[in-house]
Amino acid sequence: MIRVCGVEDVPLGEGRAVLVGGTRVAVFRAEDGWFALDAACPHRGGPLADGIVARRTVICPLHERRFDLATGQERSSGSYCAAVHRVEVRGQDVYLEAPPDRLDDLTLAASTERSA
């Protein structure tokens, strides 16, 4: 597990994107816990970290596909599934499980699409 951000870096009901060895992962703080999915929507590559988080789901801001944060499965058609990443909170720090070969390249990335 590698630290990706602090608890206060992600407001309740929002997501943030982190880079792990060149792979973008969206970390979400939902009402019932922390979750992480691949940052790109599997439908058309939309920025999931910028989506609306509600009831353990995230809605892609581009085409309104709804994904389950725990399973990554699309809720409407079930045709798409985003990869799920294990998240753990330790005190005030948020950790993400990452392959050992990617740990040196970890950086926190501010999601630029949110301000667009």
What pLDDT, on a 0 to 100 scale, did the predictor assign at position 71? 96
Q: For the chain, give the mean pLDDT.
A: 85
On the question of pLDDT at 42 being above 50, the answer is yes
Q: Looking at residues 40-49, what average pLDDT do you find?
A: 93
What domains are there in the chain, each with its CATH number? 2-111 (2.102.10.10)
Average pLDDT in the 31-44 region?
Answer: 94
Local confidence band at 98 (pLDDT 50, 70, 90 cut-offs): low
Residue 33 has pLDDT above 90, yes or no: yes
Percent of all residues in the chain with a pLDDT value above 90, rounded to a whole number: 68
Give the C-alpha separation, 36 to 71, whole Å: 10
54-96 pLDDT per residue, tens: 989 999 999 999 999 999 999 988 789 999 999 999 999 999 9
Task: Render 32-80 in DSSP notation, one character per residue.
Answer: TEEEEEESB-TTT--BGGGSEEETTEEE-TTT--EEETTT-BBSSS---
